[in-house]
Structure 1
Amino acid sequence: MHASSCLPLNHIDRMTDSAGLIQHAIYDIPRRSSGYTTDDNARALRLCARLCSGDTDDRMIERVACYLSFMEHAQRPTGGFHNFMSYQRDWLDTNGCGDSQGQAVLALAEVRAGNLPQGFRDLSKELMNNAAHVLTELTSLRAHAYVIQAWAILQRASVPDIGELESIARRAVDHLVHAWKSSRQQSWDWFEPQMTYANAVLPHAMFDAAEMWDDEVLLSIAESSFRFLDKATTSGDVFCPIGNHGWYARNAQKAIYDQQPVEASTMAAAALAGLDLQHDQEYVNAFQKARGWFHGQNTQHSQMANIESGGCHDGLQPTGINWNCGAESTLAYLWTEVLAGEAHHVTTDTHSVATAMKNTLKLHDATSIR
């Protein structure tokens, strides 16, 4: 059975209106005053494009159409994307941030490579082509990482006419390699002097680059940086992400709180990217810990996700759960569940790792995709 028929999208649907996905919630009710972001609508677009089972999947196609329409509206005449839009549908920024450009292209790549109507894929190609020159000017490491992931999605799907994006992705890899070499020290195997948010997208991009270009140097950077991150975000036997209340600077103490769902989701995705290449138990374990964070396997033993509605609480604080269920948090949970469903089909070179993968993804019956 395709995941789109069993993954709960009730909360995402509640948070979506005719314009797109509303950014924040008060508890599990849309907070209209927060407006919309391209980041969140891109994440929703990517999720629904991945879940779409084809032309007969009418409800999912409607979701994709809504979020893709938002992306088309967000694109500026110069090719880049706005990020913040008010509930009154006025753009609140001039250019949008670098990360939102990368998120947009990553989502559009998912559409272009997906099982969707031709017009949807054609529009995605057009929007990506319009944004190409903006992508060459990106400075954010995470934006570079999203571009690399986008190109890898298209390459795996054998999408034609992606030579320009490959060149941009190659330059993005060079930026990440330079950052890693510049920041790395004996006790700090990382791309920046401080770990902040969505950290795992950086080694994830390096795994993708190593796969696409069959490059052992890139694979070595991906492996070492992933292991460093895994160690930094493990407390006992649970995933303990870098807290956004202070982050984690080199030669300083790591902030434990507030923990954000996006950290667990990006770590889960990076672990599977590593597993695809290395078939090593450490990546299975890392995925299990990251996914388990949503289901109570965290420093507060708190259930972060609502497995009935598909919503997810916004963070874990010293005093417990942030009860609001915003767009980013909810999409982080849903994307992780999609990956968990797909991970059952990961092929490995050894029976032992395949068996471990099957067993460790079964956290308990209540956490399976419903």
Structure 2
Amino acid sequence: MRCSGYPPLTHLDRMTDSAGVIQHAVYNIPRRSSGYTTDDNARALRLCTRLCADPSDKSMIERVARYLSFLEHAQKPTGGFHNFMSYQRNWLDDRGCCDSQGQAVLALAEVRAGNLPQGFRILATELINNAIPVLQSLTSLRAHAYVVQAWAILRRADVADIGGLESVARDAAKNLMNAWNASHRNGWEWFESRLTYANAVLPHALFDAAEAWSDENFLTVAETSFRFLIRATTSDDVFWPVGNHGWYPQNGVKSLHDQQPVEASTTAAAALAALDSHESHALLIAFQRAHGWFHGQNSLRAAVADNESGGCHDGIESHGINRNLGAESTIAFLWTELIARDVWHRTNGTIIESPVPAGSPKHYEMAGAR
């Protein structure tokens, strides 16, 4: 891992129009027919808020404003958020899934805690406050995790509680613990009966919960489950995430294909959260492998990210790299590069080398039909 210049936002800007970031791409061109999602615009909002170190950075402020405006438009009078919007700007759902509610509030917490104009922060506060009743009814474990992370961001920024978010977040952390107690077994140290998507957000949330409420039980489960996940996603000395073509059921076989960039990104973020509790060489290696997945340290020994445009291919399929560079994948890569800067500064410029393993294929195909 080397801390060089941050990738440009060329592809993210290309994927973004006046409404927000478009969901999918055809190769590196926005696929307008795919429309927009609150999930992706929340991710883009969170990223650009973090990148906005200076409120006088007009181009970054405009990005933040565009994505924040999308979330404001997505919120219903009841406080919940739509998720899917057509290119014609018509909402396609009555209310988005649980995960999109959590993603939205996580991004809004980033805005409220960020170094942004006052109006941005006031709006974020209002939107979070409106969403509290909906957050109390969420059932998805990942949504619970996002709520815990949202509160952790506000707490670190010394932001006063918003509408009882701390209480909702604490209940969410308890729900994660209840899932752990119901599911984990000897040899299967996990919250569910299978590993699916964005797995690392679950231990990540408990690392945050342990810090927020000084609870050793949260920390123990976070460490145990994250170690299990790292073992399950490491093969041939590279990060090899669970593929979304079949997942990884308990007592079953791990899916090797359709590896998604979000898995590498969330694992890198969880490793950083774990480093906040205690630094160790093993955690730095876990981070480096997840980060390296984008740059060729993966099962294909081929780069998934495009450093020149800041875009990222939509994962690794059975026959090669997916040819398309969608919003979720691109933001996952850019977020991981942002985390890499934090790790670089935390370790005083330590470089952890993990060379690309031998046996690199000489040729690979670009997979994924239009």
Shorter-chain TM-score range: over 0.9
Q: 1:358 aligns with which of 333, 336, 350?
A: 350
Distance 2:124 2:302 in 1: 39
Are the aligned partners of 1:313 and 1:325 in contact in 2 as well (CA < 8 Å)?
Answer: yes
2:134 aligned residue: 134
CA distance 1:17–1:163, change in 2 (3 Å): closer
The question of whether the paired residues in 2 share the 8 Å contact of 1:44 and 1:67 is answered with: yes
Q: Percent of aligned pairs with the same residue?
A: 66
Partner of 2:145: 145
Q: Is the contact between residue 239 and residue 297 of structure 1 (CA under 8 Å) also seen in structure 2?
A: yes
Task: Letter of the 1:32 partner, please give it.
Answer: R
> CA offsets, 1:261-284, max 9 Å, x none?
000000000001001111111110
Task: Determine the C-alpha separation between the residues in 1 that align with 2:265 and 2:126.
Answer: 29
Amino acid at match of 2:289: K
Instruction: Give the alignment of 1:311-326 within 5 angstroms.
Output: 311-326=311-326
Moved over 4 A (4+): 361-364
Question: Post-superposition shift, 1:175?
Answer: 0.4
Query: Cα–Cα, structure 1 residues 71 and 130, in superposed 2: closer, same or farther, change >3 Å?
Result: same
Secondary structure of 1:202's aligned partner: helix
- The aligned counterpart of 1:171 is 171
TM-score, normalised by the number of residues in structure 2: 0.93
Residues 34-86 of structure 1: CA distance to partner in whole angstroms, max 9, x if unpaired? 00000000000000000002221100000000000000000011000000000
* Corresponding residue of 1:85: 85
For residue 178 of structure 1, report the CA deviation from its aligned partner.
0.3
1:161 pairs with 2:161: yes
For 2:352 and 2:224, the matched residues in 1 are separated by 23
Residue 150 of structure 1 aligns to a residue whose secondary structure is: helix
Show structure 2 runs of 5+ residues with no match. 357-370
| 8 Å Cα contact 2:26/2:324 also seen in 1 | yes
- Specify the alignment match of 1:351 in structure 2: none
What's the counterpart of residue 40 of structure 1? 40
Rounded Cα–Cα distance in structure 2 between residues aligned with 1:110 and 1:19: 20
Q: Hey, what does 1:105 align to over in structure 2?
A: 105
Whether 1:72 and 2:64 are equivalent positions in the alignment is no
Distance 2:355 2:272 in 1: 16
SS at match of 2:164: helix
Whether the aligned pair in 2 keeps the contact of 1:292 and 1:363 (CA below 8 Å) is no
What TM-score comes out, normalization by structure 1 length? 0.93
* In 2: Cα distance, 1:207 partner to 1:324 partner: 34
Which residue of structure 1 aligns with residue 359 of structure 2? none
**What amino acid is the match of 1:46?**
R
Paired residue type of 2:167? S
Task: Report the counterpart of residue 218 of structure 1 in structure 2.
Answer: 218
CA distance in 2, matches of 1:259, 1:95: 28
Question: 1:7-56: per-residue Cα shift (whole Å, max 9, x none)?
Answer: 31000000000000000000000000000000000000000000002221
**Matched residues in 1 for 2:161 and 2:72: separation?**
21
Other structure's SS at 1:345 match: helix
Q: Which amino acid aligns with 1:37?
A: T
Q: 1:163 to 1:38 in 2, by over 3 A?
A: closer
Please, which moves more after superposition, 234-243 or 156-165?
156-165
* Residue aligned with 2:30, SS: strand
Aligned to 2:298: 298
Q: 1:363 to 1:67 in 2, by over 3 A?
A: farther
> Is 2:230 aligned against 1:230?
yes
The amino acid across from 2:157 in the alignment is: A
RMSD after superposition: 1.5
Following the alignment from structure 1 to structure 2, what is the Cα–Cα distance between the partners of residues 362 and 212? Answer: 33
The count of residues paired between Structure 1 and Structure 2 equals 353
Provide the residue aligned with 2:363 in structure 1. none
Who is 1:345 aligned against? 345
Whether the 8 Å contact between 2:7 and 2:309 is mirrored in structure 1 is no
Unpaired stretches in structure 1, ≥5 consecutive residues: 347-353, 365-370
Q: Does structure 1 conserve the Cα–Cα contact (< 8 Å) formed by 2:129 and 2:162?
A: no
> Can you list the C-alpha shifts for 1:317-367, whole angstroms capped at 9, x where unaligned?
111100100000000000000000121232xxxxxxx46x71128989xxx
- Distance of 1:85 and 1:150 partners within structure 2: 24
For 2:144, give the aligned amino acid.
Answer: H
Are residues 363 and 153 of structure 1, via their aligned partners in 2, closer, same or farther at CA, if it must alter by over 3 Å? farther
**Structure that is richer in helix per residue:** 1
| 1:60 and 2:52 are equivalent in the alignment | no
8 Å contact from structure 2 (residues 38, 82) kept in 1: yes
